[in-house]
Structure 1
């Protein structure tokens, strides 16, 4: 079957989605033919989950890139403090600013890094306010020794804008032209690299061949993909249509990216994109904007599934609430239609930063029970459980079974002012009222 892909992402493009030609004609969407898929010729490779037992909980560990120590490989990131266990990268895309007050407002929302920016932005606004730039040299105020310029952004969604051969040549040309200056290389791709519609050899080369940090964007809540008929589940981590427009889908994209990243045996940080409002273009069919609860759930689902950074699509080009800079408009417009979503960004980012020293540890491989999606950490004598429902189930009560190495009698529900009793068998129970609900539990390791 020939695959037609709609051009994606920021600006005038849209996220890559794969549909049949008949469906494209039926809904009247613009198409670009990139070629045929050879997805069935190469079996997707899963990361080896059998890891040595280690750590305070005496459980196997999830494969990872090394956490904060990873940034010691890059002189500029290390010098800028990215190796600090309390640092977690949270990125704004085209979050343009022109004053200290604007940068400080973004910092109050939890933003510490930018990619995409007006070319006239002076470097001192990054340095003076302790925020970071990933990209090229915007203007003459940037110098080789600019400490807050920590990374190079190679390009956006190359997999959706070029044929495979052209895209790989394009990225290689960019990499070859970049000096070895102590800055890491970062690229963002469409969801095609975690789908079966793209030849897996191509997808894995995109993910592993050019970058030190890699990300994928797929805006499940606010683009029409989940409603299309016939629905096509083309992902390495299956996404059922009945649970397509849920927070769990963001986590599945993160897991799919980890699978692709692990193929070469060398892990790198995988970041995840979440829309502030609407991820589609102005000409897209009407869809709902992401709501505040969904936004927070999408972020936490990504982190539970090992996203090592979060990036926000800070524009809304379609839907009922449009803006070219949601953060800035929320700062200056009291009646802005996206204020509730921006407040949600602030809330979930504060939780991430508050738990960064925990999140930045290596996760354990452990299942707490059915119909749960969880991440298990240990830090300073406590076990931490980040939990949501999985993508095959509906909201409601869930039972957790603690690992045998954890003997606490109660679980503190962080940020909620609740404490749950753990029974003698190591079980506790809690409620998830919405598909995007999440809880973080802390249990003292006796």
Structure 2
């Protein structure tokens, strides 16, 4: 969440690629090539070119099925959640579903989980519930309790001393205690913040990411946070040498960086979800702002390209023109239309997102990050700008093919000698391709 929602944090707690082929960027992180924990083997079938590697998604396609009352494990399901909502009235739940949401990640304790399940949605609350598909641990514990094993007083931000002694760090103690409260067999989830992504050493951060939950996420709000460009925060992208410029900082590709950071820390067979804000998550300040529709879409796709296995929208605005806890229900503007549109794409492409990566099959030059997927005999290239100004990019696939269908754009590009080019208008540009015609990678 955000720095000046500390009081809300206490109340909330009380309420209970390198996933891509040739992902480019300036982040000084050493990413291991197979973050799913499974050993990637070169393909030896003659239908795939030498040098390509089929790599499973993090956790594998059947990951969720191991838990009690699980999220769906079918290829057409991809988790798209909203953070800390209420589910009390059928009309509101229907409105959430109509926007393409399918899971509530943290719910008010008076929410009706029977209504949630009858609406074909799922819930991950902070309290035990028979109809829940998970259990959420403390939110941003890495920030408000720190990386340490001191005694936890049981208090949350705004309620008095959190750790004992007062200046000690007890975040690991908090998560251990909350983990012990989870019902047996359910999927445990936790979201972290700037401690894991910016401030803590890797050993402390890895403990948070690896030891307490089955699915983790981290929330860095690159488009709206008034402090994130500082050397001590977003400066992580350049080794904490200097503040980021606005062009370096307010960039959709940085949401992908956050996903990569958590995946690199995980180093095991577990999914990482992504957090994207949809409103104005900080009180008004000179550099605080409201995210736009194009920025929402670009942030989501950057996260997916970098291997996120779920999306969670932060749905609260503490400033701007629509102060509310229910942005997607209450606020006019382009947030809800943008979220609805990108969620529709995610639903339609869920089988592709849940399919393996085909590493080594595509190289790209120019200001883009991209991931290559192989599904149902088709090669998909998911790409997004990684520079503020965008620019022209060239893709070369060793799989061949004669054309690249640009999904949802009503255009097709010619592929010649395995190459095609496209233009990315700005830092929010996203293009999704399906390669057709005579390729050698099974299509």
Alignment TM-score > 0.5, same fold = yes
Partner of 1:408: 401
Contact 1:278 1:319 in 2 (8 A): yes
Aligned to 1:175, the other structure's residue is in SS state: helix
In 1, distance between residues paired with 2:123 and 2:6? 18
Please give the root-mean-square deviation of Cα atoms over the aligned residues, in Å.
2.6
Structure 2 residue ranges without an equivalent (≥5): 11-27, 149-169
What does 1:66-77 correspond to in 2, within 5 Å? 66-77=59-70
In 2, distance between residues paired with 1:65 and 1:327? 29
Partner of 1:164: 147
- 1:54-88 residue CA offsets vs partner (Å, 9 max, x unmatched): 386451245643333111211311xx5x1111000
Q: Does 1:377 align with 2:369?
A: no
In 2, distance between residues paired with 1:170 and 1:12? 18
Partner of 1:333: none
1:351–1:135 CA distance, 2 compared to 1 (3 A):
same
- 1:407-446 residue CA offsets vs partner (Å, 9 max, x unmatched): 21011001011010011x2111111112111011001335
- 1:145-184 residue CA offsets vs partner (Å, 9 max, x unmatched): x2xx10000110000011322100111111123231x310
What does 1:139-158 correspond to in 2, within 5 Å? 142-143=129-130, 146=131, 149-158=132-141
Q: Does 1:308 align with 2:313?
A: no
In 1, distance between residues paired with 2:183 and 2:114? 22
1:174–1:231 CA distance, 2 compared to 1 (3 A):
closer
Contact 2:229 2:244 in 1 (8 A): no
Farther-moved stretch of structure 1 (359-368 vs 152-161): 359-368
Aligned to 1:76, the other structure's residue is in SS state: coil
Partner of 2:222: 220
What does 1:66-145 correspond to in 2, within 5 Å? 66-77=59-70, 80=71, 82-137=72-127, 142-143=129-130
1:205–1:65 CA distance, 2 compared to 1 (3 A):
same
Q: Does 1:192 align with 2:195?
A: yes
1:10–1:248 CA distance, 2 compared to 1 (3 A):
farther
Partner of 2:258: 253
Deviation at 1:117, TM superposition (A): 2.1
What does 1:229-244 correspond to in 2, within 5 Å? 233-235=235-237, 240-241=244-245, 242-244=247-249
Deviation at 1:398, TM superposition (A): 1.2
In 1, distance between residues paired with 2:410 and 2:29? 43
Deviation at 1:98, TM superposition (A): 2.1
Match of 1:351 among 341, 345, 349: 345
Q: Does 1:417 align with 2:406?
A: no
Deviation at 1:96, TM superposition (A): 1.8
Partner of 2:334: 340
Q: Does 1:179 align with 2:183?
A: yes
1:173–1:358 CA distance, 2 compared to 1 (3 A):
same
Aligned residues: 386
In 1, distance between residues paired with 2:260 and 2:141? 21
1:258–1:61 CA distance, 2 compared to 1 (3 A):
farther
1:65–1:436 CA distance, 2 compared to 1 (3 A):
same
1:71–1:57 CA distance, 2 compared to 1 (3 A):
farther
Aligned to 2:373, the other structure's residue is in SS state: strand
Deviation at 1:126, TM superposition (A): 1.0
In 2, distance between residues paired with 1:286 and 1:190? 20
Aligned to 1:225, the other structure's residue is in SS state: coil
List structure 1 runs of 4+ shifted beyond 6 angstroms. 236-239
Contact 1:8 1:157 in 2 (8 A): no
In 1, distance between residues paired with 2:48 and 2:327? 42
In 2, distance between residues paired with 1:257 and 1:237? 17
Match of 1:204 among 184, 203, 206: 206
TM-score, length of structure 2 as denominator length? 0.81
1:235–1:172 CA distance, 2 compared to 1 (3 A):
farther
- 1:122-165 residue CA offsets vs partner (Å, 9 max, x unmatched): 22211210111102447xxx43xx2xx10000110000011322
In 2, distance between residues paired with 1:161 and 1:217? 14
Partner of 1:431: 423
Structure 1 residue ranges without an equivalent (≥5): 1-5, 15-42, 331-335
Deviation at 1:224, TM superposition (A): 1.5
